[in-house]
Amino acid sequence: MKLRPRLTLFNISLVLIVIVATGIFTAISLRYFLLQEMKADQMTWFNNFKKACLRAEYLDDDLAVRSFSESLEQSVPELSYAVYVDHYRPGIRLGGVNSLQRFEELPPSCPDENVQSASREPFLEDVATSNQRLRYYCQQVRQTNAQGYNAKGTVYVGFNMRILDAKLRQLTRRMLVPLTWTLLVVLALGAMGSMLLARKMTRPIRHLTEGAQAIGEGNLDTRIPIESSDELGFLAHEFNLMATKLKELDQLKDDFVSAVSHELRSPLSAISGYVELLRSKPLEKITAEKREKALGIIQESTNRLTHFINEILDLTKLKAGQVEVHYRPFDVEEAVEEVVGLFQPLLEKKSLEWRIDVPPDMPVIPADAEKIRQILTNLISNALKFTPSGGTIRIWARNHIEFIQISVQDTGVGIPSEAKEAVFERFRQVKGAKEHAGQKGTGLGLAIAKGNVEVHGGRIWIESEFGEGTTVHFTLPVRPQEGSDEGV
Ligand SMILES: Nc1ncnc2c1ncn2[C@@H]1O[C@H](COP(=O)(O)OP(=O)(O)OP(=O)(O)O)[C@@H](O)[C@H]1O
Ligand SMILES: [Mg+2]
């Protein structure tokens, strides 16, 4: 079943449960309330009859008791009897004719005076026979009459419970009808509300589903309308962010493919062109100078291809987290000297001044020397590429106890501040920077350097003034990363 009908059904069931529970609770309370009311009425009738009996005793007026009993018989349908039994005149029972007759049919018994005098509440008892159910109240009373004689008797008032039950049923039924209607209206409103709620709740989910479908079909420009600030709104927002990210990734993929094909195409066409040239004539007809030039370009192109493919492989491994770091004791000064040594002819050719400052207190740290050399090679080659003749390159290292920091500074073209983060992404090159650099790059060096620094647990960042120069800093922890294979 779909989410919307399921939610609707669930909400309606909830409303139904609440309504049924409310109904049951109200019906029970109603019945209890009616019973209490009936009991209060019975007590009132009993007390009125008792007062009438006491007054009659005082005035010595038996007729008053009889007529009061008769009036009760007429006005109270559930009354079975209202009888007064005089204790000093044995055999004398006062009450209406019907009352006396019913009293005789099922004579009640009242506990003696002492038992009930403490509470002054009338004694109450329910009795049942095969054809009657009766509740009676009784109380012994004393009175001194007008002549000063003491009188004593028992007041009995009985009620027919069958009539009372029927009355209760009727009353309950009468009150249950409007209650049922009210609950039905509430149920209808609840059902409507449930449907609306389910619709409102599932709408953003439907939008999400449609959005996901559209993206699945390759439409990466799809965006979901954000209609609320709740969890679903947040989900839609996150979904839109994901779609933007996917779009960027898609763009990056396209850029990657075109950059890779471009990088492969130029050296390959150079190789193919010069090989063709060499094969176009017999070798002896080509001048030694031309042959040398062709072979030089073929070699340079092959080197470029090898370098590029190696960089791509390194980057792929770094991205996939498959790179292995072989920690060995690493001496910073030695590595810096070694890498600068490789670049010395180029530095001299470009008449660049260089300064190395590695203080003697530099600790020997655990690191993968091959990877650190790769970082230094790229940073120094960048400095060299982007610094015009006559500039200065400085390389220094500092010991910060917990980590060491190595920095490569140049007085070259600099990097605009908005590109300082971006140049660490693969294939990112500052526009126009290539013109400054004598040799072409692929834009992968800094991405690889960042990956290599991070697998060591360090950090790399750039400080640069556009047009004035660049400093690239990176740190390496003095203690190896957890889970490393130091000393292997
Ligand atoms: N020292 C620097 N001065 C000025 N710009 C720099 C410097 N270092 C890097 N850049 C800019 O950052 C870009 C990316 O550098 P990165 O080392 O990743 O690639 P690359 O040097 O172009 O190519 P590769 O290193 O892969 O041969 C460079 O193309 C350049 O625009
Ligand atoms: Mg580079």
CB distance 444 to ligand 1 below 6 Å: yes
In 10 A of CB 192, how many CB atoms? 11
Residue 36: predicted pLDDT:
93
Q: Whose CA is nearest to atom 7 of ligand 1?
A: 382
CB distance 443 to ligand 1 below 6 Å: yes
Written as one letter, the residue type at 322 is: Q
**φ, ψ of residue 405 in degrees (nearest 5):** -125, 130
Q: Is the pTM of this model over 0.85?
A: no
Residue among 190, 198, 221, 269 nearest 17 (CA): 190
Residue 431: predicted pLDDT:
80
Q: Whose CA is nearest to atom 29 of ligand 1?
A: 429
Ligand 1 atom at minimum distance from 443 CA? 19
Task: For residue 94, report the distance from its CA to the centre of ligand 1, in Å.
Answer: 123
CB distance 424 to ligand 1 below 6 Å: no
What is the Cα gyration radius of the chain?
Answer: 53
pLDDT digit string (tens) for the chain, length 488 residues: 788 888 889 988 998 999 899 989 988 998 899 899 999 999 999 999 999 999 998 998 999 999 999 999 999 999 999 999 998 888 889 999 999 999 998 889 888 765 555 557 899 999 988 888 999 999 988 888 888 888 889 999 999 999 989 988 898 888 888 888 998 999 999 999 988 988 888 888 888 888 888 888 888 888 888 877 888 888 888 888 888 888 888 887 887 788 788 888 888 999 999 999 888 888 888 888 988 999 999 999 999 899 889 888 888 888 888 888 899 999 999 999 999 999 999 999 999 999 999 998 899 999 999 999 999 999 999 999 999 999 999 999 999 999 999 999 999 999 999 999 999 998 888 887 666 666 667 888 999 999 999 999 999 999 999 889 999 999 999 987 665 554 43
Ligand showing the shortest atom-to-Cα distance for residue 440? 1
Task: For residue 462, report the distance from its CA to the centre of ligand 1, in Å.
Answer: 11
- Classify domain 3-170 by CATH architecture: 2-Layer Sandwich (3.30)
Domain 231-320 adopts which CATH fold? Helix Hairpins (1.10.287)
The Cα 459–Cα 451 span in angstroms is 10
CB distance 382 to ligand 1 below 6 Å: yes
In 10 A of CB 119, how many CB atoms? 9
Q: Are 455 and 442 in contact (CB under 8 A)?
A: no
Domain boundaries, the chain: 3-170, 231-320, 328-477
Task: For residue 296, report the distance from its CA to the centre of ligand 1, in Å.
Answer: 25
Q: Are 85 and 156 in contact (CB under 8 A)?
A: yes
Residue 488: predicted pLDDT:
37
3-class state of residue 185 by DSSP:
helix
Got the DSSP string for 199-259?
HHHHHHHHHHHHHHHHHHTT-TT-------SSHHHHHHHHHHHHHHHHHHHHHHHHHHHHH
CB distance 423 to ligand 1 below 6 Å: yes
Q: Helices (DSSP H) in 281-331: which residue ranges?
A: 288-320
Residue 487: predicted pLDDT:
43
Which residues on neighbouring strands pair with residue 126, listed in sequence order? 135
Q: Whose CA is nearest to atom 19 of ligand 1?
A: 443
Domain 328-477 adopts which CATH fold? Heat Shock Protein 90 (3.30.565)
Residue 435: predicted pLDDT:
67
Sheet with strand 79-86: strands edge to edge: 93-94, 79-86, 150-160, 133-144, 123-128
CB distance 470 to ligand 1 below 6 Å: yes
Q: Are 46 and 140 in contact (CB under 8 A)?
A: no
CB distance 433 to ligand 1 below 6 Å: yes
Cα dihedral 389, 394, 395, 398, rounded to 10, equals -170
The Cα 468–Cα 175 span in angstroms is 93
CB distance 72 to ligand 1 below 6 Å: no
The Cα 433–Cα 464 span in angstroms is 14
